[in-house]
Amino acid sequence: MSGFIHETTWWLLLLGVAGAVVAGRLFSIWWRERGPRAITCPENRSPAGVTVDARHAALTGFVGTEDYRLSSCSRWPERAGCGQQCLTQIEASPVGCLVQKILVNWYEGKPCAFCGKVFGQIEWAAQKPALVRADKTSLEWSQVPAEQLTETLETASPVCFACHMANTLVRERPDLVIDRSCRTVLKY
């Protein structure tokens, strides 16, 4: 009986390790393929924002090469029946058309429009940088649709997280802000 328990334990351990490897591989592919992408629609040659079905890509990528299909497109529902020829752009550069990758390249080495601090490594999880429009209003990237990304990058300037938060506070809650830039020196 002791041998049976010992052998069963090894099989369960082996199954657990195999399961963890499978889960890790699936998660890795899913993580890499998720997120909005900016592409050029082959039908009208205009920018479009798409999202790949990351779950499908992970499942097919686990057994071979990832099979891409869209889960959303900025041209849907009007053009929902399209042949998804834009997938060739994603297949050619799976990471290159990711909005986050495009933004990382755009920020690299540029100074903040307000404080002048040069951007280095971006902490997307903690302190997301923003942008400032011509009217000096800063906004977060989640407020910019992927299909407007190229146009926005041509006209906007980068803003660090701290300046974006300060700008937002001044705009949304001016009652909480004290402007000390105009100091008057009192002489007694």
pLDDT of residue 9: 82
pLDDT at 4: 58
- Cβ 35 vs Cβ 98: under 8 Å: yes
53 vs 66: CA distance, rounded Å: 11
Residue 61 has what pLDDT? 84
Q: Give the pLDDT score at 110.
A: 94
pTM of structure: 0.72
Residue 158, helix vs strand vs coil: strand
* Farthest-apart Cα atoms in the chain, separation: 97
pLDDT value, residue 168? 86
**Identity of the amino acid at 11:** W
Copy the structure tokens of residue 179. Answer: 């402007």
C-alpha 158/C-alpha 113 separation (Å) is 6
| Nearest to 35, CA basis, from 81, 86, 110, 96 | 96
Per-residue pLDDT of the chain (188 residues; tens, 9 = 90+): 555 566 778 888 888 888 888 888 888 888 888 889 999 999 889 999 999 998 988 888 878 787 888 999 998 888 877 888 898 998 888 888 888 889 999 999 999 998 999 998 888 878 889 998 887 788 888 888 989 998 888 999 999 999 988 888 888 888 887 777 655 555 54
Q: What is the pLDDT of residue 77?
A: 85
